[in-house]
Structure 1
């Protein structure tokens, strides 16, 4: 499918400075020259928020709890979705996915706990992932206090947050807590950066191949890129993982690894709903009110969570 005009408009308005030299770039320069575009839609008013903290290895981990306002007759404990924002392991915070988390909470009728994990390169692998796991474990332990159901927990994330969600699902299979679902939105799953989509969409589609490769260098530092905790696609055994929903974008360097992971999960006997969003680019789900497909995709993601929690 041709690139959607709304995706083209996003590329023209929000692409990083083409003069950035990723061979010499440092994180401070990128953070100063590029911001993740905010959605055009105003935040939902049918979801309340609360600031929380989970204990972490180096101090409290900030969390934002999203609670959909109760509907008439809705008296039971709500399921819980632990959400990890994207940003290439280097950018992003709780505000980055605020609109997305609000929509998931309202549409999936789930508590959403968004995690403000440590960022690279100041805190390289596996610091952010460890924060994510500590937050997940804390949420599971305190589910009842949050008004949630500890037997119905999912993990979710977009881009590098999708990497964390997939890695958490693999770790939780062995160490707990038990998860109902993993929602992976155009996830980064293989640090090798060798899939065909890296060549096909290397430049001109918002997230470039040099930019993604730079993100991986900041995150991994001296770590092994084949470590499954960093590259969940490289895990030798995917059996027993929770059911998954995997979204990819047609014009995205990460497209092929997301789709390869979906196929690997299926081959391992995991139930998977996989969808390529034709005509779209990396990050489109954050553009509610600006990209029509974002609203449709969020509704489908919410439906997948509702089915998993039913």
Structure 2
């Protein structure tokens, strides 16, 4: 379908300001652009309780923020990993959508930061993401959460980290997960699908821009064969938690994400794809600028409620 009119207006505004793709910036400038997404968001919702804490990452403490909605426990838990191309993003940029997910699901949402590239290339981010999951499983009962009812979620680079954290906890016998929500995840730097070419330019995240992010994140070419960096490289995808994979029509990484969902399905994983026609990468962080962001939020909340409902928890 046609590009959403609000997305089109946003792209025109970005172009008028001289923005065309992230690779034209320095890392610090790109981080600044990612931070400006807060200006595209609706007013953040109130939640019953917010706690700013830290968890022990691989080489030191890292920030996390806990959102506790109204209601009584034990509540389901969502561990959310923010996007930002592996080089940017924070719990502050993800604050508005995390509050909305907490209120929309009745789940406690834990938003965790992780070390960023290029200062901390792979495997720093997935190591920290897994450490955050271990912390959540060990500590969330203190906040009224159910450590046996955890869902992983993330957008973009955070969607990649959610996918690889699901793989790692399966491989290492870590906490059992009830589901994974991969919001337009970036999956493979070497993918070559129709969307890779059709939407390579003009839709906020370009193919050169995506390559730029990957080049900062991966420490060397061999990392692209590591399933904890590129989850589609895993030899076995069976035994993973039910997955919701959300994609957008006008998105360079659309087909690689949908291919990963298909591979999950082939491995016997309950995997559902929801494509949003007319939308682009990043809309989950655009609730104020793009009204149809609410459709993405609704899909996330529906899946979380479904996989964490008492009838589905064993």
Does the alignment pair 1:206 with 2:197?
no
Worse-matched range after superposition: 278-287 or 53-62: 53-62
Tell me the residue number matched to 1:13. Answer: 13
1: distance between equivalents of 2:22 and 2:43? 35
1: distance between equivalents of 2:20 and 2:47? 42
Does the alignment pair 1:269 with 2:258?
no
Worse-matched range after superposition: 106-115 or 9-18: 9-18
Which of 102, 107, 111 is the matching residue for 2:108? 111
Which of 126, 147, 150 is the matching residue for 1:129? 126
Does the alignment pair 1:102 with 2:103?
no
Structure 1 residues 30 and 173, CA gap change in structure 2 (3 angstroms): same
1:108-257 superposed matches below 5 A = 108-175=105-172, 176-222=174-220, 223-257=222-256
Asked if the contact 1:14–1:37 (Cα under 8 Å) also holds between the matched residues in 2, the reply is no
Task: Compute the TM-score of the two structures, normalised by the length of structure 2.
Answer: 0.92
Does the alignment pair 1:286 with 2:312?
no
1: distance between equivalents of 2:36 and 2:29? 14
Asked if the contact 1:47–1:106 (Cα under 8 Å) also holds between the matched residues in 2, the reply is no
Deviation at 1:226, TM superposition (A): 1.9
Structure 1 unaligned regions, length at least 5: none
SS in 1 for 2:101: helix
Deviation at 1:52, TM superposition (A): 1.2
Kindly report structure 1 stretches of 4+ aligned residues shifted beyond 2 Å.
Answer: 12-22, 28-36, 193-196
What's the RMSD between the two structures over aligned residues?
Answer: 1.8
Number of equivalent positions: 305
Deviation at 1:116, TM superposition (A): 1.1
Which of 72, 83, 88 is the matching residue for 1:86? 83
Tell me the residue number matched to 2:312. Answer: none
Task: Compute the TM-score of the two structures, normalised by the length of structure 1.
Answer: 0.93
Structure 2 unaligned regions, length at least 5: 310-314
SS in 2 for 1:261: helix
SS in 1 for 2:224: coil
